[in-house]
Amino acid sequence: MWEILQRLKTRSQEPWVVIGDFNEAMWQYEHFLNTKRGERQMAEFREALDLCGLTDLGFSGIPWTYDNKKSGAQNVKVRLDRAVATQDWANRFFDASVTHLTSPCSDHCPLLLCIMWERDASLGERISQAWEGEGSKGDLGTISSALRGVMKALKEWSSVQFGSIRKELERLRALLAEQQANGNDDLAVKNTIRTMNELLYREEMMWLQRSRVSWLREGDCNTKFFHQRAVWRARKKKQNQETQRG
């Protein structure tokens, strides 16, 4: 598996994340058993990840992902499953989180990787449609092609879902002003405000991600850009608060 990862790394310089069962721990403290785990294998695993530029994303939940379900001294618990990503990927999705879920059916824990866009309910359906639409996936070549198809579909989805946030915010501000002027019921006003706050959050996260990437690329020469974005966000926040006060 580790050799496959290294071969994949040489084929693309795009940001990437790998999640699943690596069949090895990285450190001794991830192995919950009196008998120690082989240091050489763990070192080779860490070296493979380092050569691929992949770092662990961390997790929340129980500290192991594999449990052989045996009792007493025969029980083995170890963290074999994890999510690792390149620095470019981590910079783009700096709010990503990994959770170890529990399962009554498997000796491995399912891993849940959450990123910003998962706040939109249509994301899961779009990924499923794109993946299933790529046909059979019997080897690494077809899997790679399918992933490129999913990436293309997600870019199109993102453009449709989030490409016109400013226009939608302006529409909602006008709607909120109309609702408040007409004395609409509190529920309608609260729903409009809730939708506006969600869009403002998404907009802020997009600018944070873009500005972080820009800083990594340009360093201090990008200070003017940051200042302009900070001033712009402060004005938008103030404008939104004044609109809500009516």
Same domain, 17 and 96: yes
For residue 21, what is the enclosing H or E element?
Answer: strand 17-21
Same domain, 22 and 51: yes
Same domain, 9 and 105: yes
Residue 32: beta bridge partners?
77
Question: How many Cα atoms occupy the beta-carbon half-sphere of 183 within 13 Å?
Answer: 0
Residue at a domain's end among 134, 163, 192: 163
Domain count along the chain: 3
Residue carrying structure tokens 């129980």:
62
Domain residues for the domain of 202 are: 164-245
Same domain, 6 and 108: yes
CA 102/CA 63 separation, integer angstroms: 12
From the number of C-beta atoms within 10 Å of its C-beta (0-12, 13-18, 19+), residue 222 rates as: middle
Residue 18: beta bridge partners?
84
**What strands, in cross-sheet order, belong to the sheet with 55-56?**
17-21, 81-85, 55-56
Q: In a 3-state reduction of DSSP, which class is residue 136?
A: coil
Same domain, 20 and 108: yes
Q: In a 3-state reduction of DSSP, which class is residue 227?
A: helix
Close Cβ partners of 69 (under 8 Å, ≥ 6 residues apart): 75, 107
Same domain, 34 and 78: yes
Residue at a domain's end among 84, 103, 119: 119
Same domain, 33 and 139: no
Closest CA to 165 of 190, 202, 192: 202
Written as tens digits, the pLDDT of the chain (246 aa) is: 777 887 888 887 888 899 999 999 999 999 998 888 989 999 999 999 999 999 999 999 999 999 998 888 889 999 999 999 998 888 777 778 899 998 777 899 999 988 765 556 677 788 888 888 888 777 778 888 888 888 888 778 777 666 667 777 888 888 888 888 887 778 888 888 888 887 777 777 666 655 554 444 445 444 555 555 555 566 666 666 666 565
CA 108/CA 4 separation, integer angstroms: 22
Same domain, 114 and 9: yes
* CATH classification of the domain holding 79: 3.60.10.10
CA 162/CA 26 separation, integer angstroms: 38
pLDDT tens digits along 120-149: 667 778 888 888 888 877 777 888 888 888
Q: What is the pTM of this model?
A: 0.52
Structure confidence at residue 77 (pLDDT): 93
From the number of C-beta atoms within 10 Å of its C-beta (0-12, 13-18, 19+), residue 176 rates as: buried
